[in-house]
Structure 1
Amino acid sequence: MSPPPRQGHGHGHAGRGGMRVVDVWAHNQDQELARIRELARGFPIAAVAVSHEGPPAFLLSGQTFPHTLEGNYEAVRASVERATSAQVGLALASRDGELAMGGRVWRFHLGAGAGLANPRRVCLGIRAHARATMPRGALVTSDGAEDAAYLIRHIVDGGLPRRRDEFLRACGVCFPALYDLRVLAEWTTPAGHPPPLAAAAAGGGSGAFRAFLALAQDAWFWEVKVAYSAFLYGLGAADNEFLVRRKIDKAEHEERDRRLRELLLLQGHDEAFVRNISFF
């Protein structure tokens, strides 16, 4: 990405699909962050996208496809730590799918240069919105790893954690409901359900976020909240106590199922035959 454009006056302009983009610089950051706080009650779902100068993480890692989780995090960390300026886009939506203020999108121009908005203040403002909207709210990203890493870098004292598991835990603390649209489109749930947004992924475009808003109204969204929160593409997820219990329960269920099938086979075959069969 090239450096942010030169400072304007912060006025919005019409974007694609009738959205109104409002540029945020140092002079109007506090006013817009206050507006975002006021909207938290009615618009608890936030969509965020970060772009910054420098190569993306997969180029830094030398791979075009995720390889090891720790290696992926090192690449993400290096990419984000090198960023000196960035743009952060933010949109707010209600649980019914309505966008705040008739489709307003905030575009924060962040960095240490003259006129740029303060990265820490803006990232803390996004975290404050996410925490104020619990348990109904969510923070949604389309490039979860780097988007979340940029936010965490400017929220956590000392910058990004050194280890992947520490980073994922920090994500869970700062954003209790953080979802990566790419993961939702490609990964099955621990219970074996297909990816919740698989159909939206096939359609491409911005349909994934609209599909997420529809999903948030579904009766089984509770399982998505448990299985996918802070699960970032290429980095995995930090297991919380509930997820660990689910995995143990699943293993115990599979073992009970294996034993039941073994007993059924013993009714018609001798033990030697049964011992030579592998159960999966």
Structure 2
Amino acid sequence: MPAATVDHSQRICEVWANNLDEELKRIRHVIRKYNYIAMDTEFPGVVARPIGEFRSNADYQYQLLRCNVDLLKIIQLGLTFMNEQGEYPPGTSTWQFNFKFNLTEDMYAQDSIELLTTSGIQFKKHEDEGIETLYFAELLMTSGVVLCEGVKWLSFHSGYDFGYLIKILSNANLPEEEVDFFEILRLFFPVIYDVKYLMKSFSKNDLPMMKWLLLELTSSHMNQIHQIRISKR
């Protein structure tokens, strides 16, 4: 399944507070035929580490995720839509949602902010024109994107990505126990394909599919995001 050749500048739609309603309406139509979604988020790094005793390394990693997601705010969410054949919708295929973020008031890791600034993130615009997460959650809940078994989410090592989305959708901090986190995850996102874990189960005969998945998640989606940022600088 070769990735389609696309004009990245035309494929990506930047979404701010002033065009959020309009673009979510478009997504409601797109999701009907293009129900595979590649996701990526930008967030302000890691600023805290949990202390105490942990049952396992997995428990520690979840508590690390939980304390940082609870403390920090999401900066961007990128969603790329495709169908089962890996084909994009005509016109826009990636929506990049830009959320309110204030470098004076909100917590962040300095090295992460410097990296994001270098990559083209416009923090002043996020402060002035960014999307309110509560309103975004209201629209997303009725968009057909979440809470739907027919929607397939594609990601790569996506714990933090889904952590921030769950925080937004539930308007609450993450649960203390990882088992409860996964229960909420299955509610909002019934079908998730995480390529990092899928790769472990691929045989040599599956290499073409593995290559396609990696292209979609790393080359196609992320390269589109990268290209649009470079064009702003």
TM range (shorter): 0.5 to 0.7
* In structure 2, C-alpha distance between the alignment counterparts of 1:154 and 1:71, rounded to whole Å: 23
CA change 1:197–1:162 in 2 (3 A) is farther
TM-score (norm: length of structure 1): 0.56
Number of the residue aligned with 2:76: 87
What secondary structure does 1:100 align onto? coil
Matches within 5 A, 1:62-211: 68-102=57-91, 104-111=93-100, 113-123=127-137, 125-126=139-140, 128-131=143-146, 134-135=149-150, 137-186=151-200, 188=201, 194=203, 206-207=214-215, 209=217
Please, what TM-score do these two structures have when normalized by structure 2? 0.66
> Equivalent residues in 2 for 1:5-16 (5 A)?
none
The CA distance in 2 between the partners of 1:196 and 1:107, in whole Å, is: 35
Residue 69 of structure 2 is aligned to residue 55 of structure 1: no
- Residue 181 of structure 1 contacts residue 208 of structure 1 at CA under 8 Å; is this kept in 2? no
Q: Deviations over 1:54-96 (max 9, x none)?
A: 2389xx479xxxx611111111112222323411111111122
Q: Which moved more, 1:160-169 or 1:116-125?
A: 116-125
Q: Distance in 1 between matches of 2:21 and 2:134?
A: 12
Specify which structure has the bigger relative contact order, considering alpha-carbon pairs within 8 angstroms and separated by 6 or more residues: 2
- Aligned to 2:65, the other structure's residue is in SS state helix
Q: Contact (CA 8 Å) 1:50, 1:87: kept in 2 or not? A: yes
Paired residue for 1:255? none
Shift in Å, 1:157: 4.1
Measure the CA separation in 1 of the matches of 2:50 and 2:72: 16
Of residues 18, 25, 31, the one that matches 1:27 is 18
Q: Which runs of 5+ in 2 are unaligned?
A: 102-126, 219-233
- Residue by residue over 1:5-46, the C-alpha shift from the partner in whole angstroms, topping out at 9 and shown as x without a partner, is xxxxxxxxxxx9522221111001111111111111111111
Report the Cα offset of residue 206 of structure 1. 4.4
| Number of residue-to-residue matches in the alignment | 183
SS at match of 1:88: strand
Distance across 1 between alignment mates of 2:203 and 2:174: 33
Pairwise CA distance, 1:198: 6.2
The structure with the largest alpha-carbon Rg is 1
Query: Residue 160 and residue 134 in structure 1: after superposition, are their counterparts in 2 closer, same or farther (change >3 A)?
Result: same
Work out the CA distance in 2 between the residues paired with 1:155 and 1:121.
10
RMSD of Structure 2 on Structure 1 (CA): 3.4
CA distance in 1, matches of 2:178, 2:138: 21
Distance 1:109 1:143 in 2: 22
